[in-house]
Amino acid sequence: MVPKMRMIANKGLLQIFFALLLVAIIMFVSNYMVYRNSISGIYNQVSENNKLVVKNMIRTFDDSFKNINDIIYTIQLLSYNAWKTGDGNVDMSDAYMTYSNLRSLASSSEYIEEVIVFHNGSDLAITTSGTIQLPELLRKKYVNPSYNSEFWKTLAKTKHPLKVFPAEAYTDDSPVGVSRKLIPIIGSNQISELNVLVFLNYDKMLRHVNQESMMKGTSLIVMDQNRNMILNTEDKWNLVDMLYDLNLGTNQEETLKNKDFEYNVFKSDYNGFMYINKTPYQFADMESVSGVNRQIMMIAIACAVLLSALLSLYLYRPVRTLVKLIGIRDAKGADYRQIRSGIARMQEENESFKTQVDVFRAEMRKAVFQNSLLGISSPKETEQRMQRYFPEFAQSGYFVLAEFRLREKNEDEKGSSVWLEEMAVSIHGGLQGTGETVSVFPTGYGKCYVHIGIRRAADREPIVKQLRAFVRQVKEEAWSGLSSTVAVSRAFAAEPANCHKAYRDLTDCFEYRNIDSDDAVIDFQTIRYTWKVYAPLDDIEKASRFLVIGNVEECVSIVRDIFAKNEERHIHRYQLVSVAKTMLYDMLKHLDASDVEPKHIVALEASFHVETEAATGSDDIRDALIRSIRAIGETGGKAGQKSKLDPSSIARYIATHYYKDLHLDHMAEKLETSPKYFSNYFKKTFGINFIEYLNKVRLAKASELLKTTEQTVAEIGEKTGYQNSSTFTSTFKKYYGISPSDYRKNSPPEAPPSEGGINK
Quick check: 7 pLDDT over 50? no
Can you tell me the distance from the alpha carbon of 387 to that of 378, in angstroms, rounded to the nearest whole number? 12
Residues of the chain with pLDDT > 70: what percent? Answer: 76
* E strand residue ranges, 251-385: 253-258, 261-267, 274-280
* 731 vs 594, higher pLDDT: 731
Bridge-based pairing of strands 163-164 and 253-258 is unpaired
User: Is-contact 484 477, C-beta < 8 A?
Assistant: no
pLDDT of residue 185: 92
Query: Which domains occur in the chain, in start order?
Result: 78-207 (3.30.450), 216-280 (3.30.450.30), 394-526 (3.30.70.270), 537-746 (1.10.10.60)
The one-letter amino acid at 741: S
φ, ψ (nearest 5 deg) of residue 403: -125, 125
Residue 295 has pLDDT above 90, yes or no: no
DSSP one-letter string for 82-116? TTTTSSS---HHHHHHHHHHHHHHHTT-TTEEEEE
Beta bridge partners, 492, equal: 399
**Range name among 451-460, 572-581, 646-655 with the lowest pLDDT average:** 646-655
Which of 242-251, 335-344, 691-700 is the most confident on average? Answer: 691-700
CA gap 61, 203 in Å, rounded: 13
What rounded mean pLDDT belongs to the chain? 77
Amino acid identity of residue 561, one-letter, is D
CA angle 755, 756, 760 (to 5 degrees): 145
| β-bridge mates for residue 408, sequence order | 482
The pLDDT assigned to 634 comes to 77
For residues 484-504, give the mean pLDDT. 84
Q: Based on C-alpha coordinates, what's the Rg of the chain?
A: 63
Is residue 596 over pLDDT 70? Answer: no
Structure confidence by residue, pLDDT tens digits, 425-479: 888 787 777 767 888 888 777 788 888 888 888 888 888 888 888 888 887 776 7
d(CA 117, CA 387): 110
By the 8 A CB rule, do 679 and 633 touch? no
pLDDT of 382 above 70: no
- 287 vs 215, residue with greater confidence: 215
Higher pLDDT, 295 or 135: 135
Residue 101's Cα: distance from chain center in Å? 84
Report the distance separating Cα 481 and Cα 654, nearest Å: 48
Mean pLDDT of 53-67: 87
Query: CB within 8 A of 26, min separation 6: which ones?
Result: none
Above 50 in pLDDT, residue 705?
yes
Q: In terms of residues, how long is the chain?
A: 760
Residue-wise pLDDT tens digits, 229-241: 888 887 766 665 6
Element (H, E) at 733: helix 725-736
What is the pLDDT, as a whole number, of residue 428? Answer: 78
pLDDT band at 101 (very low <50, low <70, confident <90, very high): confident
How much is the pLDDT for 5?
44
CA distance 18 to 448: 60
What integer pLDDT is reported at residue 127 of this predicted model?
Answer: 92
Please state, in angstroms and rounded to a whole number, the distance separating the CA atoms of residues 138 and 304: 70
C-alpha closest to that of 301 among 43, 540, 20: 20
**Tens digits of residue pLDDT in 308-341:** 777 766 666 676 676 666 666 555 555 566 667 7
Specify the DSSP class assigned to residue 751: P
Three-state SS for 451? strand
Percent of the chain residues topping a pLDDT of 90: 2
Do 690 and 732 form a contact (C-beta atoms < 8 A)?
A: no
Between 219 and 382, residue with greater pLDDT? 219
- Among 107-116, 424-433, 488-497, whose mean pLDDT is lowest? 424-433
SS3 assignment for 670-727: HCCCCHHHHHHHHHHHHCCCHHHHHHHHHHHHHHHHHHHCCCCHHHHHHHCCCCCHHH
Those residues with Cβ within 8 angstroms of residue 368's Cβ, 6 or more apart along the chain or in another chain: 382, 385, 386, 389, 390
Is residue 104 predicted with pLDDT exceeding 60?
A: yes
What is the tens place of the pLDDT at every residue in 721-759?
A: 888 888 889 988 888 889 998 888 887 554 433 333 333
Chain CA centroid to CA 654, Å? 79
* pLDDT at position 9: 45
Question: What single letter denotes the amino acid at residue 402?
Answer: A
Vertex 599 angle, CA 598 and 604, to 5°: 100
pLDDT at 550: 73
Of the candidates 634, 630, 628, 632, which has an alpha carbon nearest to the alpha carbon of residue 615?
Answer: 628
Q: How much is the pLDDT for 591?
A: 66
Is residue 331 within 8 A of residue 320, CB to CB? The reply is yes
Between 549 and 441, the higher pLDDT residue: 441
Q: Residue 175: pLDDT above 60? A: yes
Give the three-class secondary structure for 749: coil
More confident of the two residues 59 and 382: 59
CA distances from 11 to 19, 317, 578 (A): 12, 13, 82
pLDDT at 415 (0 to 100): 46
- Using 50, 70 and 90 to split pLDDT, how confident is the model at 597? confident
| 398 sits in which H/E element | strand 398-408
HSE-CB of 427 using CA atoms within 13 angstroms: 29
CB 496, CB 385: distance < 8 Å: no
β-sheet bridge partners, residue 486: 404, 521
Judged against a pLDDT cut of 80, whether residue 40 lies above it is answered with no
